[in-house]
A and B are shown apart, each in its own frame.
Chain A
């Protein structure tokens, strides 16, 4: 799975547009000496992931986004988004949108559930593109390294919501607020509109656990519909200015801080739904 540098360059030059190639070249990626960072992220593979997501981003979901200027140009931040859609394609689209549109170009570290590490091939594709497992040590390393860390505080229950509960947030966990306060970084709220309708989930079979996934969703249709994605980035919430790092252990403070982020995401969802002209438009 080690992409030969020549193969990577040829692939990149033949498939990616000149503008995207320039963005990939401009990425400031850590390198531990062999072209990879400690987690396994690699420039050629980031370019490869852009190639893979190009069709989904441009043609299938026709992603539109607003407010990307809210992402810090440098330094760490926690990006907190709603999560939905049976398959975590919303993470893929946010990742693609940030790599394609952020200024200067940055690669967000998408925090994935642990069962992703058990999926053959996919685990390699994810880590090469910058995904990290959701452990405390991984969070620490990425935030101290100055990365944008994309989390979904709803976790797996977010993408497991039935269709009747679309655009209602599942339980909003506090971990992201704790990390932001502890590491002194802002939280950027994100709302994804569209993913809720991509694969309406009618039910689920809890007993079947494929590669550690918590359940098997029953979706109609079984493949994502070509809904239009709208991604809205909100203004950064300076939790690190409101609270001191030592308050990161106080459960009441964390609940209060997480509630701020939850409210911001809810506000962005409401705004996004009001602006949307239709599920496919």
Chain B
């Protein structure tokens, strides 16, 4: 039975994944790692909780050659990434990128770890009107220097893992997940659709694809069981126009010219703790960009099957 280390285990997705691993008898010991002091995790003999700061390289070394070796962990699911786009700085870069780089390097020298899964994001793809509506795994990445740090970090972490594909003894899988539509997941659309009203660009209504927590967990469990390597898109079950998502959320919507939306949202966001940033979403509010799920179906046997239950209330 395969032991698994889950980083970012105190996020809603991390908790759901840990529960999924515990519910599945194919998996052995689960080592859950997070930054929270009091994690809301189930009590189980197969589960160990570790509080650790992944921005410190010494911590990562101690983790991998301490508890990970003791519990004979075979697989790492790395999903500890910063989620607030307003934050920036070296420390975040260490968490988002350097922890991935170091964990990969150490895992390659590790006596028990054989499998490394990076939870990546659909945001890493470049979205432009002249590019495809359906994004395959070889679609262009967002490498613009003007992109905000959170986006650049996500791309760099993704590329860091991809850079070891074919060179490493590890079985590396990069799962580029569609936006997980849930609270506290750093979902931009979640924040957008949970405001009092939604303002969108006039004359544009792109399709969006949203992933439920259940499907995200299912994809990761299949990835842990598979022998696949490489990059795999993980689309969600819900593909719908932005305007329909707003309507299903029960919100009023107003349209205004795209060039006015940036300043409008800056004014609106000032002083609040909202995480929605229009400049992060400007391209996908104008152009459709849906993850193609062909490879996920072929190599993982993954098919999105759990739609969201609209309207989804803030919890």
Contacts and interface: CB of A to CB of B under 8 A. Distances in A.
| Chain B binding surface, main DSSP class | loop
Interface residues of B, number: 31
B203 A137 contact: no
Nearest to A118: B129
B139 interface: yes
B240 A36 contact: yes
A39 interface: yes
B241 A133 contact: no
A38 B287 contact: no
B133 A132 contact: yes
A137 B241 contact: no
B237 A38 contact: no
B134 interface: yes
B204 A33 contact: no
A251 B54 CA distance: 52
B244 interface: yes
A40 interface: yes
B288 interface: yes
Interface string A23-39: 00000000011101111
A137 B136 CA distance: 7
B238 interface: yes
Contact of B130 (A37, A114, A123): A114
Interface in B200-243: 201-207, 209, 237-241, 243
Contacts of B241: 1-2, 34, 36, 40
A36 B243 contact: no
A183 to B, nearest CB: 14
Contacts of A137: 132-136, 139, 292
A38 B238 CA distance: 10
Interface in A48-99: none
A132 to B, nearest CB: 7
A40 B288 contact: yes
A181 to B, nearest CB: 20
A127 B129 CA distance: 13
B247 interface: yes
Interface in B269-315: 286-288, 290, 292, 307
Contacts of B131: 133, 135
B287 A33 contact: no
Contact of B207 (A38, A121, A138): A38
A32 B291 CA distance: 13
Contact of A123 (B203, B239, B243): B203
A33 B205 contact: no
A53 B134 CA distance: 28
A40 B205 CA distance: 9
A255 interface: no
A128 B288 CA distance: 12
A165 interface: no
Contacts of B286: 117
A33 B307 CA distance: 8
Contacts of B203: 119-121, 123-124
A141 interface: yes
A123 B132 contact: no
Interface string B107-129: 00000000000000000000001
Contacts of B288: 38-40, 127
Given A34-B244, A36-B239, A138 B134 contact: yes
A138 B205 contact: no
A33 B136 contact: no
A136 interface: yes
Interface in B129-167: 129-136, 139
B196 to A, nearest CB: 19
Contact of A40 (B201, B207, B238, B307): B207
Best-buried of B131, B134, B201, B292 by chain A (most CB within 10 Å): B134
B290 A38 contact: yes
Contacts of A36: 207, 239-241, 244
Contacts of B290: 38
Contacts of A138: 132-134
Q: Which of B135, B136, B202, B244 neighbours the largest number of chain A CB atoms within 10 Å of its CB?
A: B244
Nearest to A133: B133
Contact of B237 (A33, A121, A127, A141): A33
A92 B202 CA distance: 24
A114 B239 contact: no
Contact of B134 (A1, A120, A141): A141
Nearest to A38: B290
B204 A124 contact: yes
Contact of B239 (A32, A118, A121, A141): A32
7 contacts: A32-B238, A40-B207, A117-B286, A135-B133, A136-B132, A137-B292, A138-B133
Given A38-B288, A138-B132, 7 more contacts: A1-B205, A33-B307, A36-B240, A38-B207, A39-B134, A39-B207, A117-B287
Closest 4 interchain pairs by CB? A120-B203, A137-B132, A114-B130, A117-B129
